[in-house]
Structure 1
Amino acid sequence: MSIKSMAAKIFAAYIHKKNQAWITNPLATQDLIFKSLLAQAKDTAFGKAHNFNTIQNHEDFCKQVPVRDYEGLKNYIDEVVNGKEDVLWPGKPIYFAKTSGTTSGAKYIPLTKESMPYHIEAARDAILSYIHETGKADFVNGKMIFLQGSPELEEKKGIHFGRLSGIVAHFVPKYLQKNRLPSWETNCIDDWETKVDAIVEETFQQDMTVISGIPSWVQMYFEKLKDKAQQPVGQLFKNFKLFIYGGVNYEPYRAKFENLIGRKVDSIELFPASEGFFAYQDSQQEKSMLLLLNAGIFYEFIKADEFFSDFEGSGPKRYTIGEVEVGVNYALIISTNAGLWAYNIGDTIAFTSIKPYKIIVTGRIKHYISAFGEHVIGKEVEEAMRITTASTGIRINEFTVAPQITPTEGLPYHEWLIEFDADVSENLVDLEAFAIQLDNAMRQQNVYYDDLIKGNVLRTAVVTKIPTNGFQEYMKSIGKLGGQNKLPRLSNDRKIADFLTKK
């Protein structure tokens, strides 16, 4: 065992013990953060406008601080972008994470000197947790790659702007710098396809042990590696031991990845966002993630099926960590030490455990299909796909689902647009049989969908085969190829479906 791997094990044990302090005291931890956030921000413009100095408890907070999304906070954020201090948080942010907005163009999410360390520590602790649980630490001696956005940043009014993954690149610890790939110059390439080609050239003959990124974009990297090497990635990188991912569910990609790699590899799921680092998988024995209750974030939860309700003009009930239930689908609401207050990040989660608090990401509050009242969510279509690919042995590259409300004939239906793995697509001659299995799996996931099929309101699902690289072409067409961009698993309209089928 090397000195480096031995040191990693010792440090992992130390961090594990340290984290037990908040893991075993979740309610007190969240209460302390709640009070601390209000105390620090009471003299900001937002704090004064919402009378932070009079808030005594969560009930007061709910009355005085309504739930907002980015649009609701935009006027405040615009002031900060223009250089004004003490608006949402004391002073000015040190960075703005620039993301793609839906209605307002670019979104600028503040990162402060108080919030930034938690992004770095959470990623570190996820790896240390893995080391502590498994005892595996040899991978720290090899090369590690993080597929991410460009670290080149813009500056305006003394604040740097860039993609979160590019900002984080500036905080890679010194002890990892020699192990980290790709090079700074390659990381700065904007065009994603050119960048991946350059990464392949840089890493082709390296001893890669850890690879990290969003599965859909890592898949592109693996495919190019396999083409160049004419062998599975796991043979090329014999010491490749750990895949770290976030942003999307890995399960729909798992069979494809294992085929590209040629063997199974341990994986760690993360739940990071520009707004905060919320959770990470802390055990290889289960797929859920530990909710980070000590990370400068106060959490609230709204039941997803009540989110758009208005109870006597006060909006839906907002639950604290001590009030949540296992198995309920919640919209995640956050208040942070970066100055986001009762902020709806758009993601939905469900608790798998409350001792400790562990979650899975179930989708997006705006990404669903409910053209007929079925309210199908991302977790359900992903699980249906996992069941179907596992039972058929058929691998896929990518998929999305959309309703077809006005078919040219017959009943309406859900259309599954699927790009199959090129190695198996020629053998897939019976799309109808595959569709029936998908439909049966979907009916197991969603009772409302099952009722619509039984009641002859909907016909069984239809599978449409999408040509190779069809989804990449779609992402390129909207300027979101690569980086941290993710394809919606489902939508309640046909914008994506119509592009893919060129209608």
Structure 2
Amino acid sequence: MGLKSALSRPLAAYIHHRYQQWQQDPVATQQRIFRQLLEKGRHTAFGRDHDVAAIRTPADLARQVPARDYEALAPYFERVKQGEADVLWPGRPEYLAKTSGTTSGAKYIPLTKDSLPNHINGARDALLHYVHATGNSRFLDGKLMFLSGSPELEKVGGIHTGRLSGIVNHHVPAYLRRNQLPSYRTNIIEDWETKLDHIVEETLPENMTLISGIPPWVQMYFDKLVQITGKPVKDIFPQFDLFVYGGVNFEPYRAKLFETIGRPIDSIELFPASEGFLAFQDQPGNPGLLLLLDAGIFYEFIPAEQFFEPNPPRLTIGEVELDRQYALVLNSNAGLWGYSLGDTVRFVSRNPYRVVVSGRIKHFLSAFGEHVIGEEVEQTLREAMSQFPEVEVVEFTVAPRVSSDPQEPSRHEWLIEFARPPHDAAAFAAALDAGLRRRNVYYDDLLSGSILAPLLLTPLPAGAFQRYMKSLGKLGGQNKVPRLSNDRKVAEGLMSSEQAR
């Protein structure tokens, strides 16, 4: 056992003990965070505009601070971006995390001196919980790879600005830097395919023990390794035994990823966002992610079915129920107030509070009134794949197919890139339909009433999703394909990319 591996064990025990302390009274923990936020927030421009000094209870907060997304709060973020101090949080942020994909273009999320530890310590604590639970710390003695965005930063309004993963990269502890790959030189390469070639070149001769990244991009890395060596990943990296991921549901990718590796390995799921590191898988094998209630974030939860109402309820942690969908609203020491994150979660435990990430509040399919959510299609696909064990899926998305012909009902279209297709595509499509009907009563009613026809399964050629993402300039990094759309923008984009070949 190496020195890092040995030293990690007492540190893991200490961190686990600290977490156990705040978990004993999570409601009181959140109340303490609430008071701390109000004390600092009252001295800001946002605080004066919303009379934060007069807020005493979460009910006051809900009355005085509406739940709003980035676009609605953009005037405040723009002032921060221009370098103005004391706008959302005292002083100026240490960094701006730049992300893309919103209707207003790039988002600039502040990272303050108070909020940075949440981002830096979240992944560390996830690994230490794994060490504490399993006793396995040997991965710390090998090479660790984090597939991330470029760590190169620019100045915006005098504030260092870049991708969150690149910013966090600057705060990797010195004792881990010698273990870390890829190199800075490789990490700053913007073109994903060029970067991937360099990552493969750097890692092939190394003893890789931990690999982290979004599953579809890690799969691309594994495929490249296998293509070059002709060996499964387990033979290339015999000591590789921990996969860390976040950003998407792992289940649709699990079978193909493990087949490429050549054996099952342990995995840890994280729930990171530019707005905060929110949760991690604290128990191996337990799909629930421990919600971080002592990390400078006061959470509110809007029942998903009421999210689009004029004044939906905003619940605190003590009011949530198990197995109900909630949209997340954040108030944090990054200066986020009533911030609608856009993600939905479902609680699977209240002692401690654990969630699964179920989708995006705006990524649902309800073109016909069915309101299908991401979790439902992912579970449906996983169930169908268990019935057809030959099937491996690379990527997929679901879109409405609205018919103008009264003789041909409208339907859902599942666009799937298979690594290995089903032997009987019609039977596989029928299994998908049956699974979704069991999970969504509205979809079942629409098919029963012949308002919708059974779904259309559209297999896509190998590499279709990669080509589509590349056409958008979103290949690699932290970019993800929407699981569901209420329109055909993604579906038509995929089709257009293939027709243009």
> What range describes the TM-score normalised by the shorter chain of this pair?
over 0.9
Give the AA of the match of 1:403.
P
What corresponds to 2:127 in structure 1?
127
What corresponds to 1:347 in structure 2?
343
Residues 314-359 of structure 1 show CA distances to partners (whole Å, capped at 9, x for unaligned) of x101000010000110000000101010000100001001111000
- Residue 385 in structure 1 maps to residue 381 in structure 2: yes
How many residues align? The count is 495
What corresponds to 1:83 in structure 2?
83
What corresponds to 2:362 in structure 1?
366
Residues 130-161 of structure 1 show CA distances to partners (whole Å, capped at 9, x for unaligned) of 01001111111110100000000001332101
Instruction: Please tell me whether the aligned partners of residues 402 and 416 of structure 1 are also in contact (alpha carbons under 8 angstroms).
Output: yes
- Residue 328 in structure 1 maps to residue 324 in structure 2: yes
Instruction: Please tell me whether the aligned partners of residues 373 and 448 of structure 1 are also in contact (alpha carbons under 8 angstroms).
Output: yes
Deviates further, 95-104 or 400-409: 400-409
| Match for residue 375 of structure 1 among 347, 350, 371 | 371
Deviates further, 382-391 or 178-187: 382-391
Instruction: Please tell me whether the aligned partners of residues 403 and 414 of structure 1 are also in contact (alpha carbons under 8 angstroms).
Output: yes
Structure 2 counterpart SS, 1:373 = coil
Residues 93-144 of structure 1 show CA distances to partners (whole Å, capped at 9, x for unaligned) of 0100000142211110000011011111111000000010011111111101
The 5-angstrom pairing of residues 394-413 of structure 1 reads 394-406=391-403, 410-413=408-411
- Residue 281 in structure 1 maps to residue 278 in structure 2: no
Structure 2 counterpart SS, 1:500 = helix
The 5-angstrom pairing of residues 24-423 of structure 1 reads 24-310=24-310, 315-393=311-389, 394-406=391-403, 410-421=408-419
- Residue 442 in structure 1 maps to residue 440 in structure 2: no
Give the AA of the match of 1:336.
S
What corresponds to 1:454 in structure 2?
448
Residues 423-469 of structure 1 show CA distances to partners (whole Å, capped at 9, x for unaligned) of x24xx453211101111111122121122222222121111011111
Structure 1 counterpart SS, 2:145 = strand
Instruction: Please tell me whether the aligned partners of residues 210 and 240 of structure 1 are also in contact (alpha carbons under 8 angstroms).
Output: yes
What corresponds to 1:480 in structure 2?
474
Moved over 3 A (4+): none
Separation of aligned partners in 2, 1:168 and 1:240? 23
Separation of aligned partners in 2, 1:46 and 1:499? 40
Instruction: Please tell me whether the aligned partners of residues 148 and 484 of structure 1 are also in contact (alpha carbons under 8 angstroms).
Output: yes
Give the AA of the match of 1:383.
Q
Residues 267-317 of structure 1 show CA distances to partners (whole Å, capped at 9, x for unaligned) of 00000000000000001131110000001000000000000112xxxx101
Separation of aligned partners in 2, 1:107 and 1:455? 43
Structure 2's unaligned 5+ residue stretches are none
Deviates further, 150-159 or 357-366: 150-159
Instruction: Please tell me whether the aligned partners of residues 432 and 462 of structure 1 are also in contact (alpha carbons under 8 angstroms).
Output: no
Instruction: Please tell me whether the aligned partners of residues 93 and 110 of structure 1 are also in contact (alpha carbons under 8 angstroms).
Output: yes
1:8 offset after TM fit, Å?
A: 1.0
Structure 1's unaligned 5+ residue stretches are none
Give the AA of the match of 1:451.
D
| Match for residue 492 of structure 2 among 490, 493, 498 | 498
TM-score by length of 2: 0.97
Separation of aligned partners in 1, 2:9 and 2:442? 49
Separation of aligned partners in 1, 2:431 and 2:62? 45
CA RMSD of aligned residues (A): 1.1
Separation of aligned partners in 2, 1:276 and 1:296? 9
Give the AA of the match of 2:138.
D
Aligned-pair identity (%): 57
Structure 1 residues 451 and 370 mapped into 2: Cα distance closer, same or farther (>3 Å)?
A: same
Separation of aligned partners in 2, 1:406 and 1:477? 28
